[in-house]
Amino acid sequence: MAVDVLILNTAVADLRRADFEFADRLVGKGGLAKCKTEDMPDYSQEQIKQWIDEGSATAGGPGNTAPLIARTGLKVAVGVNLGKGDYDGLDAQGRFFHDTLVANGVDMSATHIHPSLPTGTTFIHNPKGDDRGGIAYFPNANNDFDFAVFQKAVERLEPRVVYYMYSGLSDRGDASEGRDLAEFIRWCRGRGALTIADSHTLTGDPHRLIAEGKPVAEYRLLEPLLPELDVFFTSSDEAKLIENTLGEPREWTQFDESRNNTHFLESLTKRYWHNDGRTRLFGVTVSNGAYEVHRYPDGRAGGPTKITSRFLSGEVIDLVGAGDSFRAGLITYLAKNLDAFRAGDVDFAQAVQAGNLFASLFIKAPLDDRYANIKPYDKMLHVLQTDKNFDSFEALQQALN
């Protein structure tokens, strides 16, 4: 029962409402934080179900990636913890997450129902105007991610790609200072899977932390993980925080974006790439594309190079999930060209443009149909191979139809 992609961890229902002012009090206005289950607001399951039915919920984590990949025609499975409850065995959030993914062709047979912790839930204050509200994330069942449980899913599903979301968001998944996750990823590679993971450390004010140059403890979890990954992409802000933690603190404002991202990738690959005969691809996503660096099986390196997105036109509806959807496109392309990637013959620039394409389509989709713009792989590939910049979103949509 082989699948193309298995995505693990961080099942979450994102609830957005204008009256969630309490999120500002919890994490600060415009802030972002991982909160404790015992501090979660005591809303009834009936109330949460009502909000879901009103359209105030989206599926986060793998909900930003798995349906996108599945809509291209690949076989995708998700392995996550969901909370137990009265909605056909799941709580309201878990039932919503599960059914949303199933409706989009995702295999949810690797679902583990947690007996005591609720499904991960994020309360997003969605104020009127241009203000940014607080984002209060409660990991709940995600905090108890057990690798032994999901090793069985890997053995049964035999995925060609294993994607772990995210380092830094599960107390149990991050145990042993990240070594447990690194060992799991190494085990997956030993079974022949291409491996990718990312980080999502929630920090209320990343720009202040970047300016202070102080390390962020959660990024130390990447130290044992990065040598094991075949693919790793992070955001430009997180790149600075990672470098301040694992490398040498840098006066980032003294240099332009290009030099900062190039410096990060050169520093990261020097520390964590070894001549072990496998293809590697690391990168940094930015607002108008991504920087990438790759290594061939014979040890030669390519990059760092910036791949500017050709798909930026059109109104942005919501930036939440932009990085996740980028990785969905990247993974789709690599899964379809896996032998070429392993041999070092893949078109690395086109792989990154696939990420750019998916991200552009995702952030411009309506909140009540976030996957609407993703088409079968052959249509997506046709657009990638046109090698043209799209000056309007309508032109892009026409090319995809």
- Of 8-17, 203-212, 297-306, 308-317, the poorest mean pLDDT is in 308-317
Distance CA 310, CA 330 (A): 15
Give yes or no for a contact between 172 and 145, defined as CB atoms under 8 angstroms apart: yes
Residues 11-28: tens digit of each pLDDT: 999 999 999 999 988 888
Please tell me the predicted confidence (pLDDT) of residue 373.
85
Q: Quick check: helix, strand or coil at residue 112?
A: strand
**What is the DSSP track for 100-157?**
HHHHTT-B-TT-EEESSSPPEEEEEE--STTPPPPEEEE-GGGGG--HHHHHHHHHHH
Residues 75-92: tens digit of each pLDDT: 999 999 999 999 999 999
Residues 193-229: tens digit of each pLDDT: 999 999 986 666 778 888 888 889 899 999 999 999 9
pLDDT, greater one: 271 or 211:
271
Please tell me the predicted confidence (pLDDT) of residue 397.
85
Provide the terminal-to-terminal Cα distance of the chain, rounded to the nearest Å: 32
Please tell me the predicted confidence (pLDDT) of residue 315.
57
- Phi and psi of 202, rounded to 5°? -80, 115
How sure is the predictor about 50, in pLDDT bands with cuts at 50, 70 and 90? Answer: very high
How sure is the predictor about 47, in pLDDT bands with cuts at 50, 70 and 90? Answer: very high
Give yes or no for a contact between 246 and 271, defined as CB atoms under 8 angstroms apart: yes
> β-strand 194-199 against 161-167: which pairing, if any?
parallel
Please tell me the predicted confidence (pLDDT) of residue 278.
96
Work out the average pLDDT over 259-268.
96
pLDDT, greater one: 147 or 374:
147
Work out the average pLDDT over 314-342.
83
How sure is the predictor about 401, in pLDDT bands with cuts at 50, 70 and 90? Answer: confident
Work out the average pLDDT over 43-64.
95
Residues 111-139: tens digit of each pLDDT: 999 999 999 999 999 887 667 788 999 99
pLDDT, greater one: 369 or 64:
64
Please tell me the predicted confidence (pLDDT) of residue 317.
47
Please tell me the predicted confidence (pLDDT) of residue 203.
65
Distance CA 115, CA 95 (A): 15
pLDDT, greater one: 248 or 352:
352
Work out the average pLDDT over 290-303.
96
Q: Quick check: helix, strand or coil at residue 47?
A: helix
Tokens of 389: 């910049």
How sure is the predictor about 360, in pLDDT bands with cuts at 50, 70 and 90? Answer: confident
Closest CA to 82 of 30, 14, 147, 13: 13
Please tell me the predicted confidence (pLDDT) of residue 204.
63
Q: Which residues does residue 84 pair with via DSSP β-bridges, in sequence order?
A: 90
How sure is the predictor about 363, in pLDDT bands with cuts at 50, 70 and 90? Answer: confident
Mean pLDDT, the chain, as a whole number?
A: 92
